[in-house]
Structure 1
């Protein structure tokens, strides 16, 4: 077993393919490949005839797998199993993990993160560091958590956003599940307009927004938290009870604060609503909450460019939090629920897995950039990690 520091904007599956390409051509793994090829060559004609699938007929490659997926936007520890080590990956699906995340207040998206499309907005000027620190107390220890609805599940063979498109009711209620938060702390506060993160520039289709209003549980917060339902606006209309002087999502994205009597520039909406990123989206027959699965086909694509908001500061505050959690925990759900707990809405805009089991960043994790530097750089590091793991086992 080894681990690599996954970069952003790549799926976990793509990272494995890239690593595998380097391992296949390396001197380090040549002996392993030769042994496996020799085993294949000694197979009986009957065994060879069973290799009928396209995958089985491919040239010998280093066998690899990972011990728990990360969304394309996320970075951090990705545990890799090599050869027989793939049989040991299951232990990493149930170990504790540590994350560093940034939560941005004032809006909600269909995927609970900044990769999705906006489905609602809410006031945010009342959100302060102290209110967030107080709200975090509700999320420590044993808690109940509902997985991200749009991106996590299939119901009766159909993704939930497909029910929204068709205007149908979801046949079952997505239930909360028990999770354990061993450590949770606020490590950095970002004042309004003084950070790099922003809301997405696209809004979801009207039927998706209506669906979200029914199933996203925007109004559900811990008992002592301020209610969100009366404050939340779905983007079918301008918020009537808008805090005076507080820019709306449309105003922030377009960089223009409009007077209530003027015509507002709408958020860009794509002609088609692409399938959202599926963190934990299950193959048929697998646990829908198992984060070890990743449906690569669900990576969103669109023919229309997203309007750039990089140079326009977001008027809402943000916070960086650090946590250690058990298996089955969704950081995006925590961001969503934290927004509700402080009487607003929120999305996750940054995520880094800093530790998974015995692997931790800056300790025993290969930097992805080392691959481009050649085997002379990454080879000794990978060998040392593999040797260390074998000794520990």
Structure 2
């Protein structure tokens, strides 16, 4: 016969187990932190976006979002200087614009997965000229004819670059070699300790969005994303020439504006490229009627580590000429898309309520991405 004391002890242990189980299942309150994206304008660095967000948080430390991030952090940076933990998941060159994935608070731990993810770009290429930086900000290096190039040859070349390819990163890049950035070697005129090693990258998709043959109608997404098209196709009939490879048309929320004009309380450090102040710098000639240029736009879905500048230069070489990049837009990175609910314009970062909404949407994207990878 079981004694009353044993029954009481058993009941107590059972109640304790239920209570502990309930405590385990009930998650502790975690401040709203995570991932979202910002549409970076051309002409500023990716770090400027972080500086701007840090400035907004510094001015709004009583906001629940900022307080929560600082409380969870607990570092000297947070406690003594009032600086939130913030980072980005992949830099964009100052010339480039578009998606920069931002991590705030505990979301920073997820950023290493972002930098290694695939990305989608739209790029404008100019064949006939090459530069030191492989884009329009560099110094003129060479000039070659383009009149032998046809749309058919270009399409065949794009097809040849799909799949796994070998690519050598450009000299003007942020890659490290012996503790020094490659672009620092270039700007200081210091020889590299060794050759830049090539790498394997994956081109998942490579589509032609425009070609200046006065027949091909540019993809409508180019106008939606703010690309400048020299030729007016407004009277062209889409039925005569189908749009090439639609780009999932997206209407952006608001125009791209300069931070300095919008945020009077924030003065970002102005980016200055030493190549432009170099007395030996030879600027790329502007486009003129009848010049040697051939412009076209491509959509690139690629793996992490792919340099679009290098891709365009390699395409040009394959076509028997030279080329450079004149505009670049990152449209998507790991589900974070321009025009999506998790993406903010720079001016919207002033409103921490909108930042919270973007983080909520961004966390849903992250959770869905994690679920798909587990299946």
Shared fold (TM-score, shorter chain, > 0.5): yes
Are the equivalent residues in 2 in contact too, given 1:196–1:310 (CA < 8 A)?
Answer: no
Looking at CA atoms only, which structure, 1 or 2, has the larger radius of gyration?
Answer: 2
Matched residue, 2:246: none
The whole-number CA distance in structure 2 between the counterparts of 1:151 and 1:367 is 27
Matched residue, 1:35: 71
Matched residue, 2:250: none
Number of residue-to-residue matches in the alignment: 280
Give ranges in structure 1 of 5+ residues lacking alignment: 41-50, 199-295
Higher helix share: 2
1:1-16 to 2 correspondences below 5 Å: 1-16=35-50
Give, in angstroms, the shift of residue 164 of structure 1.
Answer: 7.4
Matched residue, 1:388: 364
Matched residue, 1:176: 198
Matched residue, 2:326: 349
Change (3 A) 1:390 1:113: closer
The whole-number CA distance in structure 2 between the counterparts of 1:59 and 1:171 is 39
Matched residue, 1:118: 140
Q: Deviations over 1:290-316 (max 9, x none)?
A: xxxxxx999514558997976845541
Name which of 100, 104, 107 aligns with 2:126: 104
Give, in angstroms, the shift of residue 111 of structure 1.
Answer: 0.6
1:62-101 to 2 correspondences below 5 Å: 62-101=84-123
Name which of 143, 158, 169 aligns with 1:147: 169
The whole-number CA distance in structure 2 between the counterparts of 1:374 and 1:152 is 32
Give, in angstroms, the shift of residue 72 of structure 1.
Answer: 0.8
* Structural RMSD (CA): 3.7
The whole-number CA distance in structure 2 between the counterparts of 1:155 and 1:138 is 31
Name which of 328, 343, 355 aligns with 2:305: 328
Name which of 273, 290, 308 aligns with 1:300: 273
Are the equivalent residues in 1 in contact too, given 2:42–2:97 (CA < 8 A)?
Answer: yes
Change (3 A) 1:90 1:155: closer
Are the equivalent residues in 1 in contact too, given 2:336–2:365 (CA < 8 A)?
Answer: no
Are the equivalent residues in 2 in contact too, given 1:74–1:350 (CA < 8 A)?
Answer: yes
The whole-number CA distance in structure 1 between the counterparts of 2:324 and 2:85 is 37
Give, in angstroms, the shift of residue 180 of structure 1.
Answer: 0.7
Give, in angstroms, the shift of residue 130 of structure 1.
Answer: 1.7
Give, in angstroms, the shift of residue 85 of structure 1.
Answer: 0.7
- Paired residue secondary structure (1:95): coil
TM-score (norm 1): 0.61
Matched residue, 2:340: 363
